Amino acid sequence: MYKTILILLFTFVSAFAPHKSNTIMHHQQTMLCLGDSYTIGERVSDTDRFPVQLVKMLNEKGKYFADPVIIAKTGWTTDELIAAIKEKNLTGTFDYVTLLIGVNNQYRGYNIDIYKKEFNDLLKIAINYAGGKAGHVIVVSIPDWGVTPFAANEGRDKMKVGEEIDQYNAINKEEALNANVQYVDITPISKRAETDANLLAEDGLHPSGGMYTLWCEQILSRVK
């Protein structure tokens, strides 16, 4: 009788005892992406945005990331991005931060010296959000939109746009390297759109999901 009671008691306790799950919980790293239309993914689906594609690729490689936090809007210049970051007032830090900004400064004909100053301010902000780890900040170069049908329709001088974009990229590359952050030059990829319409979204200006994929393949190796 006593033995029977013990068996019943053991069975009851076992039935309600917590079981170990076979699911392995991974620590998810975090990523903050700062920029303009090229970061928010103008004219492409949310899943085709380069920050979203990048995180998906990382997860597939066993480097687990939460959904990226994006502060970006089509048309933003450096000063507008700075203002938006202040307004957002994010707290805490991120494992990685990407920064791609400047095309609208060039498009509006802003003083390039102002770009240099404000880009440096953004670099400091990015490094701060990366917890002071400069190597975890990734600066992405500005695409050359001068080769697009949009530029041609506006009557823009392709060579002039390309030269100005190169000047902006010379600044952001130099300042990025001086700050010991990582730099990814995707501008050569953007130039392929001159002969490959599949690399552009339907507006004939912004990158397609396919171009963003090529960017991500280049950025991927920088996330260690």
The tokens describing 196, both together, are 């490959």
Is residue 21 one of the residues assigned to a domain?
no
Residue 216 lies inside a defined structural domain of this protein:
yes
Cα 151 to Cα 125: distance, rounded to the nearest angstrom: 32
Report yes or no on whether pTM surpasses 0.95: no
Judge whether 129 lies within some domain: yes
Number of structural domains in the chain: 1
In the numeric block, which tokens belong to residue 70?
A: 């994006």
Residue 191 within any structural domain of the chain: yes
- Position 110 in a domain: yes
In a domain, 1, yes or no: no
How far, CA to CA in Å, does 177 sit from each of 36, 213, 214, 224?
A: 22, 25, 23, 18
Rounded CA separation 211/224 (Å)? 23
Residue 154's CATH number:
3.40.50.1110
Q: What CA–CA distance (Å, rounded) separates 52 from 122?
A: 22
| Residue-range definition of the domain harbouring residue 172 | 26-220
Residue 76 lies in a domain: yes
Digit-by-digit pLDDT tens for the chain (224 residues) are 555 544 444 444 444 444 444 445 678 999 999 999 999 999 999 999 999 999 999 999 999 999 999 999 999 999 999 999 999 999 999 999 999 999 999 999 999 999 999 999 999 999 999 999 999 999 999 999 999 999 999 999 999 999 999 999 999 999 999 999 999 999 999 999 999 999 999 999 999 999 999 999 999 989 87
Residue 87 CA to residue 69 CA, distance in Å, equals 15
**Is residue 180 assigned to a domain?**
yes
